[in-house]
Amino acid sequence: MPSGVGTGSGSGDSVSRDGNRLRAFIERHARLLVLTGAGCSTESGIPDYRDADGGWKRAAPVMFQAFIGDAAIRQRYWARSLAGWRRMRTAQPNAAHRALVQLQRQQRLQCLVTQNVDRLHQLAGSADVIDLHGRIDQVRCMSCQVRLPRETLQAELLRLNPAWAALDALAAPDGDADLEAPDFSGFQVPCCSLCGGLLKPDVVFFGESVPPDRVDLAMMHLRQADALLVVGSSLMVYSGYRFAQAAAAAGKPIAAVNLGRTRADALLSLKLSEPCAAALAFLLPPPGEAPPRDALPGDAPSAATLAATAAS
Q: Which of 55-59, 154-158, 307-311 has the highest mean pLDDT?
A: 154-158
221 is catalytic: no
Pairing of strands 109-114, 32-36: parallel
Average pLDDT score over residue span 255-273: 95
Q: What is the 3-state secondary structure (H, E, C) of 124-146?
A: HCCCCCEECCEEEEEEEECCCCC
What value does the mean pLDDT take over residues 72-93?
A: 90
Q: What percent of the chain has pLDDT over 90?
A: 67
Q: Which helix (H) or strand (E) holds 154?
A: helix 150-160
**How far, CA to CA in Å, does 25 sit from each of 104, 137, 264?**
16, 34, 17
pLDDT in tens, 119-138: 999 999 999 999 999 999 99
Mean pLDDT of the chain: 85
> Does residue 12 carry a pLDDT above 50?
no
Domain boundaries, the chain: 12-308
CA-based nearest residue to 278, from 95, 80, 9, 82: 95
User: Measured in Å, how far apart are the chain's first and last C-alpha atoms?
Assistant: 45
- Rounded Cα distance between 224 and 217, Å, is 11
**Is-above-0.95 flag for pTM?**
no
| pLDDT for 295 beyond 70 | no
**pLDDT confidence of 152, banded at 50, 70, 90?**
very high
Say if domain 12-308 classifies as CATH 3.40.50.1220. yes
Choose among 201, 278, 225, 213: nearest CA to 112.
225
Q: Could you tell me the pLDDT band of residue 224, with boundaries at 50, 70 and 90? A: very high
Q: Give the other-Cβ count within 10 Å of 152's Cβ.
A: 17
Residue type, 271: K
SS3 content of the chain, % helix, strand, coil (to 5): 40, 15, 45
- Catalytic position from the list 29, 97, 133, 221: 133
Where does the pLDDT of residue 289 fall: very low under 50, low under 70, confident under 90, or very high at 90 and above?
A: low
pLDDT at 229: 98
Which range, 3-17, 198-212, 273-287, has the best average confidence (pLDDT)?
198-212
Give residues with Cβ within 8 angstroms of 155, minimum separation 6. Answer: none
Percent of the chain with pLDDT over 70: 78
